[in-house]
A and B are shown apart, each in its own frame.
Chain A
Amino acid sequence: MSPTPEELEFFAGQEELEIMPRFDCPTMWLISGDLGPFKAGIPNKVPLWIALHLRAQNKCKIIPPPWLSKAYLEQLKELEIKSPLFTKMPSEHYMAMAKMIFEVCPQDIPDADCVKLLIKDIWDSRMSKLRTAVLTFIDKGASWAKVDNLTQLEMCSIRPFFTHSLEQLHRFRKTIQVARLYSAGNSSEEVRRRLRM
C-alpha cells in the first residue's frame, strides 16, 4: 500500500555519503554494488546505511554532505519561507537522512544544534504549506493539482486523511448519478449495466 516512515527510512539509507575510513580493506563485492577499496585517511563514497554501520563501530568518520551545514540550511530556510510554492530540497530524503545521521553521530556535524533547529523549521514551514494546500483542494472540490518538489515523507503525513476523504467524496458524487438513474424509473439491473459502461 503506502510506505510507512520506517520503509522510507530504509530507502533513504541508499543515498550516497562520504566517509573517512580508519581501516584498510580491499574491494568488497556486495549484491547491491561494490564497496571500493578502503584506505585509512582517504575519503570514500558509500551508501548511508553502510556509513552509519561503520560509524557505530567507530571504524570511520562521517563527512557531512554539503547541504547539511548551517549556512546552506539558513539560505534554504529563507527561500522556503519566502516562496508560496515548495522549493527544491537538496535531497529526496533530506529529513530521513538528517534523522539517521543525528541518531548515530551528531558530533560529526558542526553546529549540530543549529542545524537540527534549521531542519525542523524548514520541515514545519513545508508541512504548514502542505496542509493549507490540502484544505484548499478539498474545499474547492478540485479534481487534480500539480505540486513540485514534495518529498516522500511529507506525502506520508497527509496520506490516509487526504486519500480516504477524497475517496469517500468521490463515492458520494458517484451516488448522485446512481440516484438520478433510479429516480428516472430504471430497474436495478439497468442501472448496474449503465454504470458499468
Chain B
Amino acid sequence: MLTQFGATAESLSKASTMVFRIGTDAHLYDDPDDVSIAPLLDSKFESEKCEALKRLLALIAQGFDVSNYFPQVVKNVASQSLEVKKLVYLYLLHYAEKRPNEALLSINYFQKDLGDPNPLVRAWALRTMAGIRLHAIASLVLVAVGKCARDPSVYVRKCAAIALPKLHDLRLEEHTAAIEEIVGMLLKDNSPGVVGASASAFASICPNNFSLIGRNYKRLCEILPDVEEWGQIVLIGILLRYAIAKHGLVRESLMLSFDDRGIQSPEKDDPDSDLTVRKPFNGASFDVCTEIADIVARSYLEGPDKYLARLGHVNQDSIGLDGSCITSAKSNDDVKILLQCTSPLLWSYNSAVVLAAAGVHWIMAPKEDIRKIVKPLLFLLRSAGSSKYVVLCNIQVFAKAMPSLFSPYYEDFFISSSDSYRTKTLKLEILSTIATKTSISSIFLEFQDHVRDPDRRFAADTVAAIGLCAQKLPDVANTCLEALLYLALSESSNNVVALMGEEEILLVQVIKSIMAIIKQDPHSHERVIVHLVRSLDSMSAPAARAMVIWMLGEYCNIGVLTSKMIPTIFKYLAQCFHSESVETKLQIVNACVKVLLRAKVEDMSELRLAISYVLELAKCDLNYDVRDRARVLKNFLSHCKGFNYLEEVDNRTEFNDLTYVFAEYLFGGTKKVPSESFSYRFYLPGSLSQIVLHAAPGYEPLPEPCSFSDDETGHSPTNVHNDHESNEIDDSDEISGSLDEENTSDYSSGSVSGEGGDSYIASDSGEDEEAGTLIHLSDDAPDSRDHDRVSVNNSSSGLMDSGELMSKRALESWLNENSGSGQNSSNLSHVQRSLARISIKDIGQLVKPKSYTLLDPPNGNGLSVIYRYSSEVSKVSTELACIHVSFSNNSEEPMCNIFLAEEKPIPSPDSSEKSGSPSESVLVSHDKEATLIPMEEIDRLNPGQTADRVLQVRFEHHLLPLKLVLSCDGRKQQVKLRPDIGYFIKPLPMDIESFLKKESQLPGMFENIRRCTFSEHLNQQNDRDEPPQKDIFLMICEKLALKMLSNANLHLVSVDMPVAANLDDLSGICLRLSGEILKNSIPCLVTLTLKGTCAEPLEVSVKMNCEETVFGLNLLNRIVNFLAEPTQ
C-alpha cells in the first residue's frame, strides 16, 4: 500500500518537475527579488523567513552581493526552526568576513546552541562559529572546539576536528600549542570517522609534528581500513611521511635501487634468500631503469626544483641515501604494518585511496612487491572514468622508472575511441615506454589502426610514438621504418591537391620520426632516404620538405645511390627554389654546402652549376634571412670550390684556411645530439604537482629520512621549509589588516559618526581649579615600601583562587574544565611596580553625559529634541535604559501634543534617510520590538519653553538604532534613537580587592584588550601655563576618569599611580572601572593602563573582562572609540 503510493508519487514528481515545477524553489531562483525581502526576514512566521532566506541564497547563487541584509539575517540565528538556522548559517558563512562586526552579534546564539542537547545543533553551531574566522573570537572558538572535541557525539567530534584548520588559518601564535594538543587528542579518538577528520586537521596544521603520530602509529595503521575514504587518503600520506622520518628508506625499495647497482643486491648473499623462492624472479623480471629511478627517488626527497638546481655541479650523494638512514621492510615492524594495512585499500572504490595506497607501496615496498599495485591501478582506468587522466599521469612515472611493471599489461593502454585527446597521448607515451620485443608487434598493429584515425593530431602523435619505439628497440627499427615510409609515401601522394593544415601535421611527424630513426644508424637506411627524396616532389608541407632536404645534405655521402642522384636532385631543387618556403630554402642552401664539403660525386661540374644557380637565387631572395645565409655560405664556397677541384688530385695539406675550418665545423661533423627529450620533474605520486608539473604552493617533498626520533621532543625536523606557511602568513596578514580596518570603520559608523552628524553638546564647566581638592592621595596601599609584595600577592592569590572559584555559569558548563588555568595570567598584572593608589572623589558631579540631537529645529519646524543617556536605572525593568529627553520650542508659536512613540511595524520607504551605513537603510522593526515605556505627552510647549521627559527604552540590540515616531501638532516625523552601549550597564560598586578577584576569574576568552591613543591632555597643557608636575599626573588621571564616566555608566574603582616613576613618565598609571550589564547583571571590568610621557599622546591599553564576551567586545570598542575622539 505504502510502496504503491510511493511509486506513483515518484512518477508524478517527475512529471511535475518537467512541466509545472510546482512546489519547487524555481520561482525563487528566477525572480529572487520580486518581493521586498526585508519585511519577510522580520516576519513572525518561520515560513516567510525561510522564503526570504531562500531568496537571498538565490541572489548569492547568482553572484549578487546581498551582504546589506546581514544585520537582519543575523537576528534569525535565534530561530528555533532548523531549516531557518541552516539557511542563516549558509548566508552567514558567505558574508561573515565582509561584515565581521555584525557577525560577532551572532556569537552568543552559537554559544547557546553549543549547549543544545541535539548534537546536530551543536555541530552546526560549531561549524558556523569556526567558519566565521574572526580574530576577535578565536579564543572563544578554541574553547568551543576543545569542548566539542570531547563531545559524546561522534559527529560533533568530527566537526571539531574539521574546525581546527579554520582556527589555524587565523595564524594566532598563542593558540598553536592548544590547537596541536586538540589534534593529538582527536587522533586518539576511538571512532574511525573522527580519526579521519583529525588526520586532515593534522595535515593542514602541523604536518611535521611527528611526535603526535609516533604515539599512535600502530593504532592509526590498524584503524586505517575503517576510516572514511577521505580520511584514508590523508592518513596514508601522513603515515608514509612518519615512517620515512622515523625509519628512513627501505633498502629493498625502488628508492634505493641506484645504490643497489653498486652493492650488487645484498639478498644474493643472504642465507635466507631461499624464502623468496615462492616467486621465482630473475634480475630482468623487475629490471629498473636505475637512472630514472634514482632521479625519481631524489626528486621525492628533495623536490625536483632543488634537485635539478643541484644536479649540475655537486656530487649527488648528499641527502638521505647514505647507509645510515636505511631500514628494511623485512625486519622493521613499522614499515611492515604500514604495507600490510595499506594493501587492502588497493581494493577501495575510491580512486584517490587506491592511488595513495599505491604511492606508499611504490616508495616503501621491496621492489618485487611493487607489482601488487599494478592491477588495482589499471582497474581504475576502467572503474573510475573521471580519474583516468590523473591515474595515467602517475602510471607514466611508474612506468618510466620501472617499465617491467607494466609491460605485461600493455593491452590496458590500448586506446579507446571514447578517450579524451590528452588521455590518448598519455597512453601512447606509456605504450612506447613499456613496449618490449614481445609486445611490440601487437602494439604496432594498434598503432597502424590509429594512423588512420580521423583525429589527425592523434594520428601524428601515434607516428611519434612509433618513432620512439623504434629508437628504443633497434630490432624493430626496420619494420617501423618500412611502415613509416609507406605512410609517408601514401600520405604525400594522397594529398597532392587537398592538403589541409591538419593533414600536414601527420606527414611532418612521419618525416620527423623517420629522421630520428635514421639518425641512429644512417648507413643501413640509405634506401629510405632515397625513397623520401624521390617523393619530394609530391610532398607539399614545407616542414616535411625541409627535413627531407636536411637528410639529403646530412647523409649525402653514405652510399652509392645517394651520390648518384645528388646532381639530379639539385637540378630539381634549383628549378623549384623560387616557390619554396623560407624554411625549405634555408635547408636547401645548407644542403648545398654540405654536399660540396662531403659528397663524392662524379659529375661535379653539373652539381656546381646547379648549386651556384641556387645560391644566386638565394642571394636575391625576398627574405633577408635567406639572403644573408646565402651570402655567408657563398663566401665559404669560394674556398671550398677550389678545394673540391683539387681534392681529386691532391691531398688537403695546404687548405687550413679559416673559412674552411668554419665550414667544416658548422656542416662537417655528425654531432650526436641527445635525442631523448625527457621530463625530469617528478613529484610525489598522487600529488597535484605531479599533474601540473610544477610545485604547487604547499607541496612538500618527503621528510628527510630518519630526521625524527622518539626522544626528540621538538616538533619539526630542520629541513622543513614550508612555502605554504609563508604564503598563508601573508594571506592572514592581509586579512587581519583589513579586519582591523573594518573594525574601526564599522564601529565609527555605528556610533561615532552618529555623533558627528548629530550635534554634540558637551559642557565644560570650570572645574579645574578645584582639581587639587578633588584628588586625595590615599594610603590605600599601606606600607609604601611593600608595594611590590602586596601587589604580587594580590595577583598570585587571584591565580590560586581561580581554580576553585571558577563560576559555574551557563557558558561555563560546557567549557572545558581547565580552560582557566592555561591562560590565566593577564598581561597587565605584571605591569605593577610601586604604586600609589589615589582616589578621585566627587568626580560624579563633574560627569556630564554627552547629549545627542534627536531632532534639530530646521527639521522639526522649530522643535528641537535633545537626549542624553542617564545613569539612573529604570524602576520598571532592569532591561530598560533611561534617557533624558529635552524638548524645546525654538519657534514663535506654541506647540501641542508632543509625543514620542514606537514606530509602527510597517516601515515607510526611507531611502531619503541620510543615514550613513547601509545596514540602517534596510533596518526595520523587529518582531520583538524594542519596547518603549509610553511617554507622558507634552500637551503644550510655548515658544522658548523647554520640557524634560524621561524615556525608558529597551534596545533589542546594543548596536542598532531604534526608530521612533515623534508627533507634534499631529504631524509625524521619524527619528532615530542611537543606542549607547556605555549606558547599557550600571555602575557596580566594588573595592579593589573584589575587583582583582573578579578579574582573575575572567581570564582567557573573557578578556580582551585593545589599544588606543589618548591625546586630550596635550590640549590642556597647551591651553594653560605649565601646571606643577604632580598635577599633570592627577590631571591626566582625572581627565581620563571623566572621559570614561561621561561616556559610560561605570563605577570608578581605583586609580593607581606609579610612585617611583620618572616625573615625566606616565607609564603605569592604571584606572579600574566596573559596571554590570543591565540585562543580566553580569559584571564588566575595565582596566585602563597608560604608557608614554606627558608631552606626547598616551598609549592607553584598555582591558575588558566580561563573561558576556560579545557585549564586552562591543563595549570595549566603544570605549576605545570615545577615548580616541576629542572632547569638544
Partners in one complex: no
